[in-house]
Chain A
Amino acid sequence: MNHFPEAWGRPRDDVYGAYNPSYLQTTGPKAHTSSPAVTGTSVLGVKFNGGVVLATDNLASYGSLARFTDVKRLRIFGSNAIVGFGGDVSDMQYIDRLLESIDIRENYSHNGNMLNAKNLHTYLSKVFYKRRSEFNPLWNHVLVAGYDAEGEPFLSSADLLGTTFSAPHLATGFGAHLAVPILRRLFPEEMPLEEVSKEAAIDALKQCLKVLYYRDARSMDKYSIAVITKEGIEIKEDEVIEGQSWAFAERVKGYGAQTK
């Protein structure tokens, strides 16, 4: 056995094989974050007649470990906009501080010129694009909700590459696969926004959250939901998915030891 100090505290080579230090890059080009660490999963958003609703669960995962279970991933900007964060939580905290500094700056004078959600989305997408162009991305996919300059409900997404996308209903992460089809069924393309009520939008998101909790192993049943209307922002950060039924799980086959 090797008793030299440099081997202390390391897995033994004869048991675990030689240690692979390749990730401890010592030479070559400088590498920035190339993968997220602590992450949040899907963000869901739906526009309705007169406003927008956003929802996320309260989980921050460390890989497959459900590490933090009280994480607020919906952030309110001033009284005009909500940003929902998916992806790396520390990058989310960085962006949150960035938004806070902008909010303080915007409030130096009260001249009726507050940044609206659309302005905020433009700004965030530029930040993402700049950082990815420096090969140092902020590992997030966000939804921004609020109103545009004309006072119309606004909902749009921006991701770590600076890609932007807008639709009457949006979902990031796993939700893009599991929630969007549900939302498309509930609110088809030909359905005008005026016919979508606030209650219908909220119910739809609750339904999506439940499906995601069933199917997404990086999700949980505690969630936050925020509604923005002309009256202001109403946010609940301590909700629990109700009416769960895991009966379907018995019929799920094809995993682990159980193969038939």
Chain B
Amino acid sequence: MTSIGTGYDLSNSVFSPDGRNFQVEYAVKAVENGGTAVGIRCKDGVVLAVEKIITSKLLKPGANKRIATVDRHVGIVSAGLVPDGRHFVSRARDEASSWRGVYKGPIPTSALANRLGGYVQAYTLYSSVRPFGTTAIVGGWDSEAELAVDGQVGTGPASGSGGKVEGAKGGGPGLYMIEPSGLYWGYYGAATGKGRQAAKAELEKLDLSSGNLSLADGVKEAARIIYVAHEDSKDKEFELEMSWISSVDGPTKGRHEEVPKELREEAEKAARRALEGEDEDEEEKMEE
């Protein structure tokens, strides 16, 4: 931030002499102040979770949702400026719906992430707009089953393969994180917002790349990670919101849904226990 005040940081789409776009970097600052959001790509589904700091006692408990459904099979959680996140989600819904208009089927998670990356990037190109003050995590499940075309009415020929390949399996989980610059990567586990450092450290311990973590365990881990990431702002109360997308034969049947209350509470209980356990460990060490 040595170039603050040199004038190169006053307008979007302007490079500083050392090749930086300051307005995009400042947008990232807005993200870094938002509640922590994480996503975990499990072998049989995807989990999204977010820490919602309770800013007022007058807020209706459990009512203000921060994880959005985009199409039946995709969800988005974001950290940073909440209204910008809603704008992002609104665009994602339009993209998913226009994809259906053209291809008569659900948009693959990767294609959605690609289009959204392009959209966010466009907001770094012009001085007439500002970049998005959000980093969004996009989670989805591309169906592994034979999909009907939207509006399909028949079952096809009764004999012969009808062009279908026996036993072929496609699809699977998808997790992407899109930053204010428009940059996006696919992830095994993604974290953003205030507690991202702690959350990332926890995600790395999970050995997600080996693809062994089940969705049920993923839910527990996501809850625990949000609780760990919250440690730094312990004085503030928060609500945990979680959603998931399972495989077609899993609990959500390939749909993006809120994690059922009982399951979430169970995961939260386990998370609190794990944290208390840690504290005790530390105390024991101190005593030693």
Contacts and interface: CB of A to CB of B under 8 A. Distances in A.
Direct contact of A and B (CB under 8 A): yes
A97 B154 contact: no
Contacts of A100: 100, 150-151
Interface residues of B, number: 18
A199 to B, nearest CB: 29
Nearest to A89: B153
B239 to A, nearest CB: 17
B93 A108 contact: yes
Contacts of B100: 97, 100-101
Contacts of B97: 101, 104-105
Interface stretch (B64-72, B122-130, B187-195): B64-72
Contact of B154 (A68, A92, A108): A68
B69 A93 contact: no
B55 interface: no
B142 interface: no
Nearest to B93: A108
A108 B71 CA distance: 8
Contacts of B153: 60, 68, 71-73, 89, 92-93, 96
A71 B93 contact: no
B72 A107 contact: yes
A97 B150 contact: yes
B179 interface: no
Contacts of B152: 93
Nearest to B72: A104
A92 to B, nearest CB: 7
B223 to A, nearest CB: 20
Contacts of B154: 68, 70-72
A33 interface: no
B151 A93 contact: yes
A94 B155 contact: no
Interface extent on A, as a size class? Answer: 20 to 34
A194 B133 CA distance: 59
B272 interface: no
A94 B100 CA distance: 12
A245 interface: no
B258 interface: yes
A223 to B, nearest CB: 14
A57 B184 CA distance: 50
Contacts of A60: 153
B258 A110 contact: yes
Contact of A108 (B69, B158, B258): B69
Interface string A52-70: 0000000010000000101
Interface string A83-100: 000000100111011001
B68 A108 contact: yes
B241 to A, nearest CB: 13
A152 to B, nearest CB: 30
B104 interface: yes
Contacts of A72: 153-154
Interface in A213-229: none
B65 A94 contact: no
A104 B71 contact: yes
A180 to B, nearest CB: 26
A107 B69 contact: yes
Interface of B: 65, 68-69, 71-72, 93, 96-97, 100, 104, 150-155, 158, 258
Interface of A: 60, 68, 70-73, 89, 92-94, 96-97, 100-101, 104-105, 107-110
9 contacts: A89-B153, A92-B153, A93-B151, A94-B151, A101-B100, A104-B96, A107-B69, A108-B69, A110-B258
